[in-house]
Structure formats: structure tokens, C-alpha cells
Amino acid sequence: MAEVKICGLREPAHVTAAVEAGARYLGFVFFPKSPRAVTGAEAAALSADLPVGVAKVGLFVDPSDALLTEVLDAVALDIVQLHGHETPERVAEVKALTGLPVMKAVGISGPDDLVLLTEYGVVADMLLVDAKPPKGADLPGGNGLAFDWRLLVGRRWLRPWMLAGGLTPDNVAEAVRLTGAPAVDVSSGVESAAGVKDSTRIEAFCAAARS
């Protein structure tokens, strides 16, 4: 059984669907280029009535200190997800600035990329193991692209981690079985169109991941 993060939430009905289906992490995207982007005030409204034990994750891509401060003034996030080209030094700075745990996303396309998980594991509190985006992609994540999960078989890192990238209700159980991922993160796999979440797919994903 893996814990679930549903990322890119923009509608109250989908927040409710995720919580009722047992998701432990809800992701709010603070990256204007994303079709899933929200403001700090919108994230605050969406997350106002969450039960205890459900974490609010703020997704940022190479954020400035000013953006982090602006968002955190509006919404009490529990975890900062960094999904850009942040260096280990920048991860440490963001931890110090925000006082929050930081989950660093690392893009994987082949075995050479795995060393980054060890490097970031020294400084980040959590690791997000995602597919590397295609060259020239508009978004550094949220592309519905998977990588070869067999690369992760038998690997262990210094920190808790989540698997992401192209996960769907149909493939998440196999991904968890193969990799042993303790948690999984999904965005486009629970959508009916880019940026439009689907409650039925959210429920099916959570059931499959937690089975």
C-alpha cells in the first residue's frame, strides 16, 4: 500500500474527492505556466477545512524568495515541493527561509540520473522521483510521462520518497509493486483534460495505490 498525493487541485469538489478517497497529500501548483496554477489565496480557500493528517504541498519551480514569502503569507503550507533546477544549496536556502520541509523533485531518464537522488538526499527532507521532462517541454513536470521503473528496483535513499510521472489508475499498482514506492504522486493521470481533475479517476487512483 502506498500513500497518495493528488497534485494540481483547483476545485473544491476534487479536494473533497481526494480527501474522501484517502489521499494524504494535496498539491497546489504555484507555477504560472501550468494549467493547474492557483494563487496563494485560492489554495487557502481550497484547503481551509482539511482533516488533520492531510498535508498541503506547495509546488514551485525555481521560485524567488519573494514568491515563496507571498504564497506562505496567504496559505499555511506543510511541505514545499521544488520542481525546477534548484541546486542542493538552494534547497537548503528554501528550507531556512520557509522553515518547512522541502521535497525535491529529481527527473530520471536513465541510470546516470540516480546519483542525483543521493546528492539531494543529503539536504532535502523528501525526494520526488519523477520522469525527466522532454527537451523543450513547457512544464518540468505534470506531462503524464513515465520512466523505466525497473531503474529503481532494489534502490534505497536517505530520505522518504514518492514516485511520480505518468501514473494512472491502471498502472499505479504495478508501479508500487515493482519499485516498493511508499508514496505516489499524480497529476495528469487523474484528469479528463489538461488541468481538469476527474473525481472518478481520483477515487480509482487512490483505491489502486492503497490496495
The counts of H helices and E strands in the chain are 7, 10
Q: Is residue 7 among the annotated active site residues? A: yes
x/- track of binding to ligand LGQLAAA5 for residues 15-54 (CB under 6 A): ------------x-x-x--x-x------------------
CA dist., res. 210 & res. 2, Å (int) = 5
Q: Across-strand partners of 27? A: 7, 57
Q: Closest separation between CB of residue 53 and ligand LGQLAAA5, Å?
A: 20
CA dist., res. 147 & res. 164, Å (int) = 9
Q: Is residue 206 among the annotated active site residues? A: no
Interaction of residue 130 with ligand LGQLAAA5, rule CB under 6 A: yes
Q: Which of 139, 175, 184, 202 binds ligand LGQLAAA5 (CB under 6 A)?
A: 139
For residue 188 the three cell numbers come to 495528469
Which of positions 164-183 make contact with ligand LGQLAAA5 (CB under 6 A)? 164-167
Which of positions 50-79 make contact with ligand LGQLAAA5 (CB under 6 A)? 59, 61
Q: Which of 10, 56, 83, 201 binds ligand LGQLAAA5 (CB under 6 A)?
A: 83
Residue with cell 507571498: 70
CA dist., res. 34 & res. 29, Å (int) = 8
Helix orientation angle between 199-210 and 12-20, rounded to the nearest 10 degrees: 20
- Residues with catalytic roles: 7, 130
